[in-house]
Structure 1
Amino acid sequence: MTTSPSTSAPARSGGAAGRSPRRDWLALGLLMFPVLLVAVDNTALTFALPAITRALEPSGVHVLWIIDAYPLVLAGLLVSMGSLGDRIGRRRLLIIGSTGFAGLSAATAFAPSAEWLIAGRAALGFFGAMLMPSTLSLIRNIFPEPNRRRMAVAIWAAGFSGGAALGPIFGGWLVEHFWWGAVFLVAVPLMVPLLALGRTFIPESKDPSPGRVDVPSILLSMLVMVPMVYGIKDVATEGPGLTGLGSMAFGLAMGVVFVRRQHRLEHPLLDMSLFRNRVFSMAISANILALFSFNGFILFLAQHLQLLEGLSPSAAGVAMIPALAATVAAGLVVVPLVRKVRPGYVVAAGLAFSATGYTLVAFGNHDGGPALLLAALLVLALGVGTAETISNDLILGSAPPEKSGAAAAISETGYEVGSLLGTAVLGSILTASYQHNLRLPAGLDGMLPGASLHNAGETLAGAMEAAAVLPGPLADAVRDAAAAAFDSGVHVTAAIGLVLMATAAVLAAVVLRKVPKAT
């Protein structure tokens, strides 16, 4: 596939000439260790939180910062670190990040207090921001030939999806058999192969004419992403309010300042001309929307499985494994497909699959157990795996090799933003619909404390907790009312997801229709 002159260039910017394919694939194998680590780390912490709460006795605010410190710092630094890798060397940045991540993970595993754990999580976000853009940009330069690069990107995406699937199961097993710190300590053995062999088998690459690092641009990029991510997470958990919406507005204002500064600089931190490429911009949008649909779906499916079907968190995670495996399989299967079908149509088909998954939920009956929702997740996962793999390849292929670090960082930022938006937007709509449609039985005022009654009206979890202390018939009535209200919210959010994914599929087919088939 040739999406721009840069994609057909056989030269590797800064790479070693005449490398054997075997060494390239071995280098990819080493790059998968940080990918797996970041993916597992993202989901495993959830299952360690109860043990952390018992051991460190954090306040409610501390718990929120234990969760949020890592993604806030990570999102704020992704663009800066991607551009820094272009300047100082992507392998060099990856080694620095891996060393720091492993060392800090070992220290964080033995954090004596919640404050130390929060500081450790923030520092892990700093080094984590060096990892993912570096792996993806190195793939762009290790595999300049489009077909091999496409397969490498598919394997990269499969590692990320596989790690996300293993996280809940692996994290739960570690906490059960060891202690909460084992979730962090596992980073050390995972990084050893990369640190021992990376310099030997992974070729260095960087921008040959990088220019100086613009520190004000780095600060501005953080003032864009940190308030935006914080605002999205606040809206997702607290609903629309002054804090969340104000944070997002401030982030957008700083975004305007950041973009204007980049246009004025001779050597910008982020080359804004990348976005003038329609293929690049549409592929980024497809990536964001694919993650939006997937994480928004997981949000209400996890609640349904645990609160309405009575599954434990680990059992709910196991129930989702077939769909996550389908994400991996779809990403690998579509690689040869783009030799026969234009990649734009493959991305559009993936987004259409996501729309189909939401269709099953929007118009289906959820009373027959979790089978329909899990089937819908399977269809959705096939679409996400398809769209993500090809859109990531389009992102890398449409950017010049010397700018691959910045392109990879934008792709990773899209991952973060898409995931957060899926949770925040669909989660807020789901919560609002639940609260609007809830009809609790009469007579609860004298049987429940005011706080419990309030929580029952706010969330499905609150209603289920309230029902647990009520007598049988009344408890059943509360559960039925909460389930009906939640189900109505799921239909609404699924219909919105359906419209968004269908629209995205049409746009991808139109905008990307001229991207040629792979040769």
Structure 2
Amino acid sequence: MDNSVLYLAMPSITDAISPSAGQALWIVDIYGFVVASLLIAFGNLGDRHGRLRFLLGGATLFGIGSAGAAFAGTPEILIASRALMGLGGATLLPSGLAIVSSLFPDARQRARAIGIFAATFAAGFAVGPVVGGLLLSRFWWGSVFLINLPIVAVFLAFAPRFLKDVREARPGRVDALSVAQSAIGILLAVYAVKSAAAEGFSVEQLAIGALGVAVLVWFVRRQLTLEEPLLDLGLFRDRVFTVAVLTGLLSLVAWAAAGYLSGVYLQSALGYGVLVAAFLALPGAAVLTVACVGTAGVVERIGKRAALIASHFFMAAGLALLLFTGTDGGVVFYVASTVVAGVGYGLSFSLVAETAVAAVPAERAGSAGAIAEMSNELGNALGISLLGSLAAFVFRLQGPDVSGTLDTTLSAPGLSAADADQAKEAFVTGLHAAIGVAAALTFALGLLAVRWLPREERGAPAEEPTGEGLTRDGLTGEEEKVAP
């Protein structure tokens, strides 16, 4: 809900605290980077020391960060507050998914429960813009963060009562160096991309980017030598798991980039108010929610392989519809895009989490859930930073050279009508470039899924492995042996 509201609130935030182009991108995606860099570590810690304390501590940090963001008077304070919210979010997501898995040991019930769990994210996306639009139309932009506080308070009051017995502690420790490697590598690499898009390439940025990639390579090599790795690379030997995680990554890359850029497009390029833009997002959000809840039924009918493959092509087709938008109209294509892509997003959100958790023993559910959530959160951050940076780079090349973003350009004093039109055209061109890349990536992964995923033996019982290949649930025989 926070991220979907933030997309709509960015024009108001830009007017109020005047962030630079780079700061505006950091405000949007610092949350995702902090979450992605710490998810695996906190998933492991939850497995070892119990999940309730991480849920309660994470909710508290999330609430404190939300209060700080609501009253931030400068871009730096807002970025820092969003980072604190990310720290809390990194503790909440893997433990929450692991608890859902523990509550439903039956595979079919677990699949449905995880579908509903995923649907809560879609519901937040659906409710967020409407609630945020109502708040932004009546109050200052900080109100969109204050709505988190009563939710956090209710959670802190009831979680100890209902979740206190859902924990599976295990011994061991988290490798601190691996945590630092993953966090530093991600931040350095993406910072280089973001700053290059906003300011142009330089030797310093290339050096920072190369250092980030080197640290990430070091991180991967270290995981292969550890007895208790932070990231269990062995899970990726299974093609079903690998395709599912890649699906989680790319689906959020596309979803985040389309959501962020479309919010700016509707408000700044087409001139719609924030509340109208929020309501225009509702049809797609409703389809996304229904698709999440209905994924288990779809899998029972057509199998997990077909559902995974279909998710990619629905996303690619929906994204492609955004390529028909323009500065003189495009609302119909926008709504159609969110509806078609929403089917693919809903399938992917549910399948990624269910596949990850079902592939491991119960005591590793938090770690597997963390990998699934990491792919989503990293995709969310990369979608905004990398594809958002691509759009910003195109805008900088083709725009009127007044400012680095469309919002700040349109608010510049003395801007001529010709420059305003040029800025809007440049933004739409950048949007098409970013969305075109996202559509191509999801379509390519769909083709890879067709090639990689073995066909299911549809006559096999749902809960029993059939040897090689996929069972009716879409898991390999080896995966079924260790399923919780």
Q: What's the TM-score, normalizing by structure 1?
A: 0.77
In the TM superposition, residue 85 of structure 1 has moved relative to its aligned partner by: 0.8
Equivalence for 2:463: none
Distance 1:377 1:109, change over 3 A: closer
What's the counterpart of residue 227 of structure 1? 188
For residue 125 of structure 1, what is the amino acid of its counterpart?
Answer: G
Deviation of 1:130 (Å): 0.4
Candidates 496, 502, 507, aligned match of 2:448: 507
1:85-123 CA distances to partner (integer Å, 9 max, x unpaired)? 111112231122123333554466556776655544433
**Which moves more between the two structures, 117-126 or 308-317?**
117-126
Which of 164, 167, 170 is 1:205 aligned to? 167
Structure 1 residue runs of 5 or longer lacking an equivalent are: 1-39, 439-452
Give unpaired runs (5+ residues) of structure 2. Answer: 455-468, 475-484
Larger Rg over CA atoms: 1
- Could you tell me how far 1:371 is from its partner in structure 2? 0.9
The 5 A counterparts of 1:235-250 are 235=196, 237-238=198-199, 241-242=202-203, 245-250=206-211
**Cα gap change, 1:232 to 1:168, in 2 (>3 Å):** farther
The Cα shift of 1:241 comes to: 4.9
The answer to whether 1:166 aligns with 2:127 is: yes
1:170 to 1:363, Cα distance in 2 relative to 1, 3 A: closer
The offset of 1:387, in angstroms, is 2.0
Q: Does 1:155 align with 2:116?
A: yes
> What displacement does 1:245 show?
4.5
Letter in 1 for 2:301: K
Specify the alignment match of 2:105 in structure 1.
Answer: 144
- The whole-number CA distance in structure 2 between the counterparts of 1:121 and 1:374 is 29
What is the aligned partner in structure 1 of residue 357 from structure 2?
Answer: 396
- Decide which moves more: 427-436 or 142-151: 427-436
Aligned with 2:231: secondary structure?
A: coil
Secondary structure, aligned partner of 2:3: helix
Give distance in 1, aligned partners of 2:337 and 2:53. 42
Distance 2:276 2:208 in 1: 36
Partner residue in 1 for 2:41: 80
Which amino acid in 1 is paired with 2:212?
G
Contact 2:360 2:368 in 1 (8 A): yes
Corresponding letter in the other structure for 2:447: V
Give the one of 451, 471, 475 matched to 1:516. Answer: 471
Counterpart-to-counterpart distance in 1, 2:112 and 2:158: 22
Q: Provide the C-alpha distance between the structure 2 equivalents of 1:363 and 1:116, rounded to a whole number of angstroms.
A: 38
Q: For residues 142 and 429 of structure 2, what CA distance do their matches in structure 1 show?
A: 40
Whichever residue aligns with residue 448 of structure 2, its letter is L
Equivalent residue number for residue 466 of structure 2: none
1:287 Cα deviation from its structure 2 partner: 0.8
User: How far did residue 488 of structure 1 move?
Assistant: 4.8
- Mean CA deviation greater in 380-389 or 488-497: 488-497
* Structure 1 CA distance for aligned equivalents of residues 425 and 79 of structure 2: 38
Equivalent residue in structure 2 for 1:91, among 29, 45, 52: 52
| Residues 126/342 of structure 1: CA separation in 2 closer, same or farther (3 Å cut) | same
282, 291, 311: which one pairs with 1:321?
282
Q: Distance in 1 between matches of 2:283 and 2:258?
A: 15
Match of residue 273, structure 1, among 234, 240, 243:
234
Shift of 1:373: 2.7
d(CA) in 2 for partners of 1:433, 1:298: 18
Distance 1:399 1:512, change over 3 A: farther
Aligned equivalent of 1:442: none
Output one character per residue of 1:236-265: Cα deviation in whole Å (capped at 9) or x when no partner.
Answer: 544555555544432221122222222222
2:271 is paired with a residue whose SS is: coil
Residue by residue over 1:327-375, the C-alpha shift from the partner in whole angstroms, topping out at 9 and shown as x without a partner, is 1111122221111212121111011011212333447888554212321
1:404 Cα deviation after fit: 1.6
What amino acid is the match of 1:391? V
Q: Aligned equivalents of 1:304 and 1:66: distance in 2? A: 18
Do the aligned partners of residues 211 and 417 (structure 1) sit closer, same or farther apart at CA in structure 2, a change above 3 Å counting?
same
Identity %: 35
Moved more, 384-393 or 192-201: 192-201
Structure 1 equivalent of residue 224 of structure 2: 263
Structure 2 vs 1, CA of residues 260 and 359 (structure 1 numbering), >3 Å: closer, same or farther? closer
Q: In the TM superposition, what are the counterparts of 1:91-490 in structure 2 within 5 Å?
A: 91-103=52-64, 105-106=66-67, 109=70, 118-202=79-163, 203-206=165-168, 208=170, 210-235=171-196, 237-238=198-199, 241-242=202-203, 245-362=206-323, 369-433=330-394, 453-455=400-402, 460-461=406-407, 464=410, 469-470=415-416, 475=417, 478=419, 481=422, 485-490=426-431
User: Does the Cα contact within 8 Å between 1:72 and 1:230 map onto a contact in 2?
Assistant: no
Amino acid at match of 1:328: T
TM-fit CA distance, 1:315? 2.0
Structure 2 equivalent of residue 31 of structure 1: none
